[in-house]
Chain A
Amino acid sequence: GNSVTQMEGPVTLSEEAFLTINCTYTATGYPSLFWYVQYPGEGLQLLLKATKADDKGSNKGFEATYRKETTSFHLEKGSVQVSDSAVYFCALRNTNAGKSTFGDGTTLTVKP
């Protein structure tokens, strides 16, 4: 079956530090990969996605590259801000109209 493994948190960084949150997956076929973000008290929202190998998704300074050879989709940002404090979820989807598989989430806290 499908699975997503995320770097365990919580992660605490100082403002302007470099961020990496690791995500690896197991899936059959060629899944689409997603990063979602959840701010306190809210639902999840899409941060970025990539739908085929070697694609790079990017948004708001965050990036992730779909690496099929290492089955990974690591999230990076060069300089985090306090407003980036949130829970980040890696997810995959490889069936039409079907279920997505989510990682357990990584809590990021950025301190001034």
Chain B
Amino acid sequence: NAGVTQTPKFQVLKTGQSMTLQCAQDMNHNSMYWYRQDPGMGLRLIYYSASEGTTDKGEVPNGYNVSRLNKREFSLRLESAAPSQTSVYFCASSGGGQKETQYFGPGTRLLVL
């Protein structure tokens, strides 16, 4: 039982390049989330998917797209990376209820030059 896995762990991009961050969970959770974490700014929600087949914008969606490929997988795409997207990205998943805990992946550290 691996929980939430993310790939890659580290990535360096040049401005304008594109990339996709992958996330998968093996807990049969309905809901999945993408956050970014920047120093002094806590966690900010980029996009989330309440269930397979649905996605919704969070606080900071500009410059990102997501795909809920199936119940297990939720990817985040940067179409044209910018230095402001340098951050640590976390994927999370949870069951559907209000009492449910969120389970986080280990994070992807992205540097955009």
Q: Which residues of A contact B (CB under 8 A)?
A: 31-32, 34, 36, 42-46, 49, 51, 89, 91, 93-100, 102-105
Query: In the complex, are the beta carbons of B42 and A97 less than 8 A apart?
Result: no
A93→B98 contact, CB < 8 A: yes
Interface of B is mostly: loop
A45 and B42 within 8 A (CB): no
Find chain B residues with CB under 8 A from A43 CB. Answer: 4, 90, 92, 104-107
CB proximity of B82 to chain A, nearest CB, Å = 24
**CB < 8 Å: which of B30, B45, B51, B90 contacts A44?**
B90
Q: Are A97 and B31 in contact (CB under 8 A)?
A: yes
Map CB proximity to A onto B73-113 as digits: 1 under 8 Å, 0 otherwise. Answer: 00000000000000000101000111111111111000000
Give complex CA distance A34, B97 in Å: 14
Interface residues of B in 27-70 (CB under 8 A from A): 30-31, 33, 40-43, 45, 48, 50-51, 58
Interface size class of B (residues with CB under 8 A): 20 to 34
| Residues of B participating in the A interface, judged by any CB pair closer than 8 Å | 4, 30-31, 33, 40-43, 45, 48, 50-51, 58, 90, 92, 96-107
CB contacts (< 8 Å) of A46 on chain B: these are 101-103
* Contact sample, A vs B, 6 pairs, CB 8 Å cutoff: A34-B101, A42-B106, A43-B105, A43-B107, A89-B42, A96-B98
